[in-house]
Structure 1
Amino acid sequence: MTALQDLWTTIAEGDKRDFMVLPRQRVSYADLREMTGQWLSWFSAAGIAPGDRLVIRTADEVAAVTAFIAALLDGVVPVLLTADTPDARLAGVVEAVEPAGVAADILPAGVDTRIAVLALSPAPAPARPSWFSRDRRANTLAFLPQSDSRRVPHLPGDDAGLAYLLFTSGTTAAPTGVQITRANLLANLATQTRLFGYDGKARIFNDMILAHADGMIQGPIQALYCGGTVIRAGGFDLARIEQWLNRVRAERASHVITVPTVWAMIDRYAAHDDYFDAPECRLLLSCAAHLPEDLWRRLEARFARPVCNQYGLTETVVTALWAGPHPEMGKVGTLGKVADGEARVADADAAGTGELQLRGDNVFPGYWRDPARTAASFTADGWFKTGDLARRLADGSFAYMGRSKTVIMAGGFLIRPEEIDEAMLRHPAVAESVTIGIEDDLFGEVPVTAVVLAHGAAAADENALAAHARACLEAQKVPKRIVMVPAIARGPSGKPVLADLRRLLTATVVGDPLPANHRDITAEVTALAADVFRVPAEALALTSGRGSVAGWDSFSQLNFVFAVEHHFGLSIPAARVATIETIADMVRTVRDLSA
């Protein structure tokens, strides 16, 4: 198993090979050596020592990756948050981990004066790549001191020490921190390298969020481990799907990794079939959620490349079960087989369905300073209880049968309902809030929240409550719908009757097609946009679109497309979807397709 010393040797050699490629920037291994040295110099100047925690909140991907790597090698424990993490949640994490340093694009007010703080230069908005302009090569990070060649990382040899902390969800007052040790990390990287054939020629296309394990660990850290390259593309955006996919060939990617929701969008909206047919492109990888068998088979048939599915949790670094063409992997449509570890089905019913439990070197030791939750998450004989229901098949593969826990998996993002409910209860008009996951064809599940308004509270509508949620939560955690109900049914113990609530909310969210007995297309499209983005219709104009509507992002645009298709009985071609950036664009699309 490669040790931290080997990772540092790869960096210290400092050659000009690509380490990380971004839309308008390339970072070589020589650049990585320089930037790592800059972070190490700052650690020394700030008094940040091995074992200390460093909280990072930034949109600058180069800063995030190099800070994470420098901390990992120096024995400092990185705690990376998404750039849109609200200040209240950041403050909760800072209180929980007691860091020696905080690095952020915008520093929050009230940080303890004993904590070293570093203001990072905000990253520019991702530029659309030009195939005629030369990539800009960055050599230093302007907000950090110069690198000192005498300062080398501490490279702790204690594999039981923490590699990083990742906060998956939880309430602001009690955020949930997953502890990953160096032994956990190195074990999982070794397995991934063997099963996926990673080597120094690997060019890993991974554009997932870096503050999530699949983004950071399966991207930059995996590339460093094998001496290869990670390719970033500025974030998946449905409106630029062709440019995003064309980058796979342009950068000679060998492995393409994303979540089932994005694979489903590629299957539905990609205009061509040749994005992955270059000889160096070996594998298409799906992670973070279950990949449906029919989608899996369509991808393989259409793109003529083998597809692998990875099952894992933040608590298993990234992956615990693998399915795909490798002889150690499980069969198509399953969660896969275990490799370099153990898996079992516990408390199975007559059909063989029970809770999937895991044990192995990649399984975390427990939650940060939460012994009660840690104890509840493991069996007496040391197996981690995943909360997923599975059935073991004759060939050793595990079939996915659903979830036994209340967490919501929306497009590969893990969402804990209590975090949404906590945010909603901060609104003065909300007396009760209960969030559940509703099945969704594209995202697997979406969060939907039922609220009871406080007696005598000022009137509140869904748009106002949605705006409140956007202010308190990261974008992917904002409920798809917020439904006001007169009361929430509860059982004798006081807990919500989730089955009744799910039936009520499913009917509200799915509903019947909106009546379309007249064709005031502009008014109807505007009304649909107001409903999807949760803003007043009167606040929208034909020019409203990305940048001017708070809730309009790549995923919500897809919901807008689906709503329009459902309402008007249309199927919008992939090429046309990519052109829709304003309400006026959608109105023209409907008129053209209805003609």
Structure 2
Amino acid sequence: MPRTYPADIAWDLALPRETLVDVLAGSVAAHADKPALEFMGRQWRYGELGAMVDRIAGGLRALGVKPGDRVGLCLPNTHFFVASYFAVLKVGGIVVNFSPLMVADEIGYQAADSGTSVMLTLDLAPLLPRVLQVLDRDGPLKRVVVCRFAEALPFVKGVMFSLLKRKSLAAIPIGDARVSRFVELLAAAPLATPPVISPEGLAVLQYTGGTTGRPKGVMLTHANLCANLRQVQAWCGTSTEERARMMAVIPFFHVFAMTTAMNVGIGWGSEIIMQPRYEKAAVLSAIRRRRPTMLPGVPTLFKALLDAGATPADLASVRACISGGAPLPLALKHEFEAKSGAKLVEGYGLTEGSPVCFCNPLRGENREGTIGLPLPLMRAEIRSLEDPARALPDGERGELCLQGPNIMAGYWKRPEETKAAMTADGWLRTGDVGIMDADGYVTLVDRIKDLILVSGFNVYPRVIEEALYAHPAIAAVCVIGIPDQRQGECPAAYIELRPGTELDEAGVRAFLKDRLSSIEMPRLIEFRETLPRTAVGKLSKKELREQPHMHA
């Protein structure tokens, strides 16, 4: 247990032995008449959600889905996703999350690697045609179930969408035995004899972002995911009223949203207010209409809400905003809290941790610039970069290593990579360089793979990025290492400015002069209209690294 811990949180949390199917069943029994899901004005209660899951599970069984089969979800945040996720688990299947933004080759690779045999998706262009391309290939995918987007909407909105947005819809193949419709699953008899599911059984194959090489399937068990949702619940420790309404803007197919917005929300019996993607007007309208109390997000979401003009009145109902997925710039935290009146705390996690592992306290000391303290039952050590078996004393820089009930079972069909990710004594190597202080708070310095070696000296991109974020004209920044003939590598900074501001290279250098050492000063400064981002809205360095670079 860390030396300092919030007084109202038990680090040695007692975990029930449960599956995600049990979690849903508990909330359906306790909150049958309470709102469970809300989408663009349409609402489903917990009793309705439970009945829907039972019928979809029966429909999947009729399609031949057996325990252990991998079923893909290539869906945005809708009731289709939530109900299908729990139905796949109820029938004993393993959920494989696919981003709807993937191109056909990416979908094909992940389907082949995971052995996904059935895929649920939407009738939107260009999404459905991409999935159908993969269906036509010689691979494991044998059946596609198509959900009609209009059927997620209130009746009048659904009719209007079908009429006015016809160009955004893709034709559903008629007469193709490999293609079913979601309504056919809903018409099935409820699953009569659900299989016995072990907490140690696989629940989700969650593919990593693939920033280095091909994405890997992270094996997350029911026990892993249930532990993490209970850890997050214990950390938040909020009252029944405070956890009443969960705002889900970040996509469920991403592990952070899957746990913090969906699984935690279902476990609490919250109403989950779903948005299929970030659209300024729609998100602000939903916030004003449903008054959410919890808002998990990535830094770019909180930045976007500020840019959209969200006021303290809009966000008055929000009790907690938890930022994850990427480092939270301090300037953004201060600006968001000042303008919104809501508390914004930074957490930390990774897919291999289901994902949340650290968070700053919502009550108690929020130590700025740190990722906070480990969640209940999480053990954390800073290990030597040269010898991962050796724990380092407080204040020394090394690799953050973790142990806990939420740590993955391994990488799907990659025993060597699983072995490489773990220390000899069974701790997960995160690949993140950090420093732990005397109270157990951890400051992350950078990713081991992001380190820039300038004439043999370690330069940490995050230090440069934090210095740049302090400039009022800078909206977003990515720093990477590029080849340099004299020094081996040098830092390159790619900058996205706030709308209506101006800044040039000379201005950046003058601003950084007293903030960075000479080896940290970027050799290349480039302004971009927009920086590359991942599907969840996280800044992505992968595309920048793939560009040809050489600094003379």
Matched with 1:80 is 97
Matched with 1:300 is 337
Q: Distance in 1 between matches of 2:485 and 2:63?
A: 52
Matched with 1:229 is 271
Superposed CA deviations along residues 123-158 of structure 1, whole A, max 9, x for unmatched, are: 259999999x9xxxxxx94242514235254350x2
Residue 371 of structure 2: which of 335, 352, 358 is its match?
335
Q: Does 1:29 align with 2:19?
A: no
Q: Is the 8 A contact 1:337 1:398 kept in 2?
A: yes
Q: Cα 1:374–1:11, aligned 2, differ >3 Å: closer, same or farther?
A: same
What is the RMSD computed on CA atoms of the aligned residues? Answer: 4.2
Superposed CA deviations along residues 176-213 of structure 1, whole A, max 9, x for unmatched, are: 11111111111111111111135765211121012101
Matched with 1:374 is 418
SS of match in other structure, 2:332:
helix
Q: Is the 8 A contact 2:78 2:275 kept in 1?
A: no
Q: Cα 1:555–1:199, aligned 2, differ >3 Å: closer, same or farther?
A: closer
Q: How does 1:277-288 map to 2 (within 5 A)?
A: 277-278=316-317, 281-288=318-325
Q: Distance in 2 between matches of 1:7 and 1:555?
A: 28
Q: Distance in 1 between matches of 2:336 and 2:212?
A: 40
Q: How does 1:348-427 map to 2 (within 5 A)?
A: 352-406=396-450
Shift of residue 379, structure 1, vs aligned partner: 1.0
Shift of residue 56, structure 1, vs aligned partner: 2.1
Q: Is the 8 A contact 1:14 1:33 kept in 2?
A: no
Shift of residue 407, structure 1, vs aligned partner: 10
Matched letter for residue 303 of structure 2: A
Q: Distance in 1 between matches of 2:247 and 2:215?
A: 31
Shift of residue 507, structure 1, vs aligned partner: 9.7
Q: Does 1:151 align with 2:192?
A: yes
Residue 180 of structure 1: which of 208, 220, 223 is its match?
220
Q: Distance in 2 between matches of 1:361 and 1:130?
A: 46
Q: Is the 8 A contact 1:72 1:78 kept in 2?
A: yes
Matched with 1:214 is 256
Residue 314 of structure 1: which of 351, 363, 371 is its match?
351
Equivalenced residue count is 441
Q: Distance in 2 between matches of 1:307 and 1:301?
A: 10
Q: Is the 8 A contact 1:183 1:361 kept in 2?
A: yes
TM-score normalised by structure 2 residue count: 0.69
Q: Distance in 1 between matches of 2:210 and 2:271?
A: 33
User: Greater RCO between the two (CA within 8 Å, min separation 6)?
Assistant: 2
TM-score normalised by structure 1 residue count: 0.65
Matched letter for residue 123 of structure 1: F
Superposed CA deviations along residues 265-313 of structure 1, whole A, max 9, x for unmatched, are: 33455252222223xx321221212223343234334333333221111
Q: Distance in 1 between matches of 2:322 and 2:496?
A: 35
Matched letter for residue 431 of structure 2: G
Q: Distance in 2 between matches of 1:392 and 1:129?
A: 54
Matched with 2:237 is 197
SS of match in other structure, 1:148:
coil
Q: Is the 8 A contact 2:230 2:264 kept in 1?
A: no
Q: Percent identity over the alignment?
A: 22
Superposed CA deviations along residues 241-261 of structure 1, whole A, max 9, x for unmatched, are: xx5235334213111121112
Task: Specify every segment of 5 or more residues in structure 2 that has no aligned partner in the other structure, as ranges.
Answer: 1-14, 123-127, 160-180, 385-391, 453-460, 498-502, 508-527, 539-552
Matched with 2:202 is 162
Q: Distance in 1 between matches of 2:370 and 2:435?
A: 10
Q: Does 1:118 align with 2:144?
A: yes
Q: Cα 1:116–1:256, aligned 2, differ >3 Å: closer, same or farther?
A: same
Q: Is the 8 A contact 2:251 2:536 kept in 1?
A: no
Q: Cα 1:200–1:382, aligned 2, differ >3 Å: closer, same or farther?
A: same
Q: Cα 1:506–1:13, aligned 2, differ >3 Å: closer, same or farther?
A: closer
SS of match in other structure, 1:175:
coil
Residue 67 of structure 2: which of 9, 27, 50 is its match?
50
Superposed CA deviations along residues 90-112 of structure 1, whole A, max 9, x for unmatched, are: 11112111123223332224245
Q: Distance in 2 between matches of 1:344 and 1:49?
A: 41
Shift of residue 371, structure 1, vs aligned partner: 1.3
Shift of residue 163, structure 1, vs aligned partner: 1.3
Q: How does 1:498-517 map to 2 (within 5 A)?
A: 499-500=489-490, 502-503=491-492, 506=494, 512=505
Matched with 1:89 is 106
